[in-house]
Amino acid sequence: MSSLRILAAGLLASALAVVPPLATSHAESSPASRTQACAHGYVALTFDDGPSTTTTAILQALHDNGLTRATFFNIGAQEQLHPDLVTAEQAAGQWPGDHTYSHPFLDELTTSQAAAEILGTQQIHEQLTGVREALFRPPYGRTTPEIRALARSMGMTEVLWTVDTQDYAGATTAHIVATALAAHRGDIILMHDAGYATTVAAVPQIVRGLADRGICAGRVVPTRHPVTAWPGTTFFATAGRW
């Protein structure tokens, strides 16, 4: 670990001053009420690439539709630019994830470069919030056993996805909603906090549609069993109760 921290030092030279963690601003429902409302299980709503111009709107949409919680896989450079949005996510009870410092093709980097990308973001987030990220998502889903091992050495579980809304590819709001609502128990849904108005508009419909099916937005949790992201690619995480 000490050598990996040294590799990240250059990235962290410009990190912002420590921002103390904020208390959660909403009251969580009781375990009993969640169990009843989530009779058909949990899926994980995940948002990559933030914080951005849509972060506040996504947080508001989640709050306005049942105090829903999601996982935000943030880019380290974006967290440095928008520390107020990072602490806003924390205050809203959202779960943090590491999406590297600059969103590169990790599988094209050297081991030391990949380590700096991953560890640098984890340390930036800890500086801003006091919380060390436990989840890691490689940009574009491009990973290798070595990258997965790097994340694991930093105490993080690699997380890919099982449902791709394609919001980054110009999908309409209707398409994003329909794709997300096809999810089943344990699925991890990929969306983006990257300035897409279509994604913001889709969030309320997704949350309400899942609730109508007795499905709740849950937490990404490690699993011992391999999960298929796409043919030939697996990871070890699923959506579970929080």
Name the residues annotated as catalytic.
48, 192
Q: Rounded CA gap, 43 and 184, in Å?
A: 7
Peptide bond into 20 cis (omega under 30): no
Q: What is the dihedral of CA 110, 154, 88, 75, to 10 degrees?
A: 10
CB 165 within 8 A of CB 190: yes
